[in-house]
Amino acid sequence: AQTVTQSQPEMSVQEAETVTLSCTYDTSENNYYLFWYKQPPSRQMILVIRQEAYKQQNATENRFSVNFQKAAKSFSLKISDSQLGDTAMYFCAFMKGSQGGKLIFGQGTELSVKP
Amino acid sequence: DAGVIQSPRHEVTEMGQEVTLRCKPISGHDYLFWYRQTMMRGLELLIYFNNNVPIDDSGMPEDRFSAKMPNASFSTLKIQPSEPRDSAVYFCASNSPGQSYNEQFFGPGTRLTVL
């Protein structure tokens, strides 16, 4: 069975600084997707970034980037130039296969961006 | 598109009562997922459908829970009888993997409180 672990329950960062959230996962699959979802206080789940396991290049979306280390089964999220609106719970998630299927979530990291 | 629609947004009921949660997926999406979020267990999949057919219901906690998808635009999650430990936020999500690179689009959630 696949598992996802986020070892940082809470983190804080000053506005405009950079922060990295950690995620590790365990799987015997070779084909899978990894995601970071953001859940602000409104509780809406919002996709931040995705990574296909077969791609070696790390995904980037504006201020958000990942460090995907397939051999180490590590998938960290870097937020650059942190903004107050980045304050939220961040969930790392794993999906097996290439088409469809359930997400397996980590426990979440609560990020606070301080002015 | 209005996104995934869930109703009600909040539900307060008494132990032993029947609860029905409703979901309208994004038009054209062929996968529909029900997730539950609690402090103790985090985000976990309950069941998911592909083309209205249940594919994986291994996360459904017990016989008190049932889910249906009578057509492509509607799904229900029913709890009968409800218990205080069912108190949680229930999310519905949908996607069409070939169109959205496996991104799942979440509804706003239903916060259920069982007294």
Q: What are the distances in angstroms from CA B7 to CA A81, A97, A115, B64, B114?
A: 37, 31, 36, 20, 16
Contacts of B52 (CB under 8 A, 6+ apart): B69, B70, B71, B72
Question: What does B46-104 look like in DSSP terms, one character per residue?
Answer: EEEEETTEEEE-TT--STTEEEEEEETTEEEEEESS--GGG-EEEEEEEE-HHHHTTPP
- pLDDT band with cut points at 50, 70 and 90 for residue B57: very high
B93 to A106: CB separation less than 8 angstroms, yes or no: no
The pLDDT tens digits for B3-14 are 999 999 999 999
The pLDDT tens digits for A67-99 are 999 999 999 999 999 999 999 999 999 998 866
Nearest to A25 by CA among A111, A95, A97: A95
pLDDT on residue A99: 65
Mean pLDDT of B35-47: 95
pLDDT on residue B20: 98
Q: How many CB atoms lie within 10 A of CB A70?
A: 15
Enter the tokens of residue B25. 């997926």
Closest residue in chain B to residue A38, using alpha carbons only: B106
Q: How many CB atoms lie within 10 A of CB A115?
A: 6
- Kindly list the residues from chain A whose CB atom is less than 8 angstroms away from the CB atom of residue B91: 45
Closest residue in chain A to residue B42, using alpha carbons only: A107
Residues in chain A: 115
Using CA atoms, how far apart are residues B17 and B83, in angstroms rounded to an integer? 8
Using CA atoms, how far apart are residues B74 and B6, in angstroms rounded to an integer? 10
B93 to A45: CB separation less than 8 angstroms, yes or no: yes
B88, B112 contact by CB (below 8 A):
yes
B108 to A43: CB separation less than 8 angstroms, yes or no: yes
Q: Which residues of chain A have pLDDT under 50?
A: none
Q: Which residue has the tokens 């209005």?
A: B2
Q: How many CB atoms lie within 10 A of CB B114?
A: 20
Minimal C-alpha gap between B19 and chain A (Å): 21
Contacts of B53 (CB under 8 A, 6+ apart): B69
Minimal C-alpha gap between A115 and chain B (Å): 28
B102 to A99: CB separation less than 8 angstroms, yes or no: yes
Q: Nearest CB to A99: which of B43, B56, B97?
A: B97
